[in-house]
A and B are shown apart, each in its own frame.
Chain A
């Protein structure tokens, strides 16, 4: 029984990690294509083994512990970030009843996990005992906390329409029409908030090494850095999966008729995640970085009122037409 559980968990974790590895390769390849260069093409066939080589490089490098750092917390922070980015996958349904834990409060669980994710960053910044890392950590933490608020409102909108916190029921509620059709503005808003939540372009202040001396992870090297990196990319995949589940009908095929139903459900889900991954990368390649005050005012003065207003609109429409799900 225990062995079976461990195997189940590994079957998700290993696949997520491979997905993360090839996410980085896809990023470099697609960005290379956009910028009219080749990208990595030496290691393995067409550079397919590049992520493994990168991982090996980071693994064998020397880990530097700053002498003034708080050692325990300094080592704990990347582990926490990495672990939290993986445990969110527990509630993601990959297909019909293809989910590790089908809990009733799946969305709240995901919100709680992403709320905990802030701690990895704060811990890293504080325990490094360096001004740049600390300021970077405060910046990233404030950014994540403020975009979480509008993400919460968007999630409540979706939950109102599906009548459940369970991710599988949310997918099943979209059998007639995907939520991205009636909630198109929220779909766009959610994706942008996901970009901000994962500290990604155009909101990637932690990566602004030229103007802000990077972020919370300046003092990290080798494996610590690799764990942050992996955690960040796993989070991006998780947010892509969540967007696909909430707005693009998760594992449901495009139309429930013959040529679309040949493709298995989980492959549909993978295709949707892949689409968002490409969108993440294209965003990085073609958008400039936001200034910090612009980022905050966008989050609090545009996204929050808009998502709150949309929530009230949705609730009143559902009430007045008696469309509320049971």
Chain B
């Protein structure tokens, strides 16, 4: 019941993300999409991932999105013309995407299409240990998937270094405050008589 309600809100706000006239509104709807999907993950008892979703996507990424959209001063956009142009291509891509999702569901989860005669499906409940979310993730992440984990860390580090290099400019004109110099300043070497 709650899940149904959440998914309805999720779908409606996902539609509003692309159809909202004001870009700031559409970012707010995007935040709502993140939140509702996190809540539905919570209802499916995937607490760790859902809270991480809220923390990372809502708490950090969407805030930066908002900052950028708010600062750029984009006013209300006219969308009707563009919408008709992009509609065929967009719906084609969407269809492919949905088809892939349905096929994956059919293959790996509960088969709901009468396509294949395969009746057996994997009961995923038996596949997982009765451990908490975090322990399961940790066991997988630090054993089987550790190269990917390390690579992800390096990618993030490179991105961070790149951002810092791009924004750092040593100009002599800019005035900097050096706290330690201010603290070390004493009366005897700062007040003197000029003859």
Contact = CB atoms under 8 A, between A and B. Distances in A.
Contact of A148 (B51, B52, B59, B133): B59
Contact of A109 (B51, B58, B133): B51
Interface stretch (A16-24, A92-100, A116-124, A186-194): A116-124
A136 to B, nearest CB: 13
A126 B69 CA distance: 11
B48 interface: yes
Nearest to A149: B60
A108 B60 contact: no
B67 interface: yes
Given A104-B47, A104-B132, A165-B134, A118 B55 contact: no
B48 A108 contact: yes
Given A104-B47, A105-B51, A111-B55, A145 B63 contact: yes
Query: Contact size class for B?
Result: 20 to 34
A62 to B, nearest CB: 28
Interface string B48-76: 10011011001110010011001000000
Contacts of B133: 104-105
Interface in A126-177: 126, 134, 138, 141, 145, 148, 165
B59 A118 contact: yes
Given A104-B47, A115-B58, A134 B132 contact: no
B24 interface: yes
A324 interface: no
A116 B35 CA distance: 10
B47 A116 contact: no
Contact of B51 (A112, A122, A145): A112
Contacts of B28: 73, 123
A138 B66 CA distance: 10
Contacts of B134: 104-105, 165
B32 to A, nearest CB: 10
Contacts of A271: none
B17 interface: no
B31 interface: yes
Interface residues of A, number: 23
Contacts of A103: 47
Contacts of A293: 177
A109 B52 CA distance: 9
Interface in A274-300: 293-294
A122 B54 CA distance: 17
A126 B24 contact: yes
B68 to A, nearest CB: 11
A120 to B, nearest CB: 12
Contacts of A138: 67, 70
B63 A122 contact: yes
Nearest to A137: B70
A131 to B, nearest CB: 12
Contacts of A123: 28
Interface string B100-122: 00000000000000000000000
Interface string B22-58: 0010001001000100000000000110011011001
Interface string B165-193: 00000000000010000000000000000
A116 B63 contact: no
Given A126-B70, A165-B134, A105 B58 contact: no
A116 B66 contact: no
A141 B58 CA distance: 13
Interface of A: 73, 103-105, 108-109, 111-112, 115-116, 118-119, 122-123, 126, 134, 138, 141, 145, 148, 165, 293-294
Given A115-B54, A293-B177, 8 more contacts: A73-B28, A105-B48, A105-B134, A112-B55, A116-B58, A122-B70, A138-B67, A141-B67
8 contacts: A104-B134, A108-B47, A108-B51, A116-B35, A119-B58, A126-B24, A141-B67, A294-B177
* Nearest 8 Cβ contacts at the A-B interface: A115-B59, A112-B54, A108-B51, A105-B47, A112-B51, A112-B55, A115-B55, A104-B132
